[in-house]
Amino acid sequence: MTKLKALPHVPRWAVVAAHAVPSLVLPSGIWRVALTFGAPVARIDDPSTGLAVYQIVLTVVAELPAFLTLGLVREWGEVFPHRLPFLGGRPVGVRGTTSAAPAGAGALFALTGCFTYAAVAGVGRGAPGIHVEGPFQEALFAVCYLPLVAWAPLLLAVTIAYHRRRTAPRVPCATRTAHEGPSVLV
């Protein structure tokens, strides 16, 4: 098993949660790409080039912010990488990060609620578009899309841990006693 890389002062649960987010978003992207390339995962009423482009762009647009969740537990989430022009080596703003991430989590909660309501209420059934038909396609769709429900809570939890870590004062080494061990966050 590979070791999950993160900063030494990041809680293990936050590292696991941050690494889980891109993995939870990936199955829905694979489902959309499979649909785009003609796999029998659903029926499309009007397979146009525009729909194919939309499916691929949506997959990329979903994976990028999911991948950015890793920045909340990695060094590049605290200091911009040196290879970035103008920003390289500068600290990442805590206020901006801890404002953007919860806003994203809020949007994800709202989307999850809307899509859950639409699915339960049957909104859009029979309308032109993409339709899953039969138990196999329905099960595959559920397996690929249900993990997205965990995205918002995980993002919010990791963001709270990031905020606490970045805003908490560190205990200086000189004020520690022998029994306190290594420097910890207060």
Q: In the structure, what pLDDT confidence band is assigned to residue 148 with cuts at 50, 70 and 90?
A: very high
For the cut 80, the answer to whether the pLDDT of residue 139 exceeds it is yes
Residues 45 and 42: their CA atoms lie apart, in Å, by 10
Q: Is the pLDDT at 30 greater than 90, yes or no?
A: yes
Residue 58 has pLDDT above 80, yes or no: yes
53 CB neighbour count, 10 Å cutoff: 11
Residue 174 banded pLDDT, cuts 50, 70, 90: low
| Residue 134: count of CB within 10 angstroms of its CB | 10
pLDDT tier at 186 (50, 70, 90 boundaries)?
A: very low
Taking residues 120-133, what's their average pLDDT? Answer: 73
Cα separation, 17 vs 158, whole angstroms: 7
Structure tokens at 152: 């918002």
- Say what the pLDDT of residue 40 is: 86
Q: How confident is the model at residue 68 (pLDDT cuts 50, 70, 90)?
A: very high
8 Å CB contact between 167 and 33: no
List CB contacts of 44: < 8 A, sequence separation 6 or more: 35, 51, 129, 130
Q: What is the pLDDT of residue 111?
A: 92
Distances (CA, A) of 56 to 33, 123, 125: 6, 24, 24
State the average pLDDT over residues 36-59.
83
Percent helix, strand, coil in the chain, to 5, is 65, 5, 30
Q: What's the whole-model pTM score?
A: 0.80
Cβ neighbors of 88 (< 8 A, separation 6 or more) are 80, 81, 82
Question: Chain-wide mean pLDDT for the chain?
Answer: 84
The alpha carbon of residue 144 and the mean position of all alpha carbons in its chain are separated, in whole angstroms, by 15
Stretch 75-96: mean pLDDT: 87
Among 19-23, 27-31, 95-99, the range scoring the smallest mean pLDDT is 95-99
Mean pLDDT in residue range 105-119 = 89
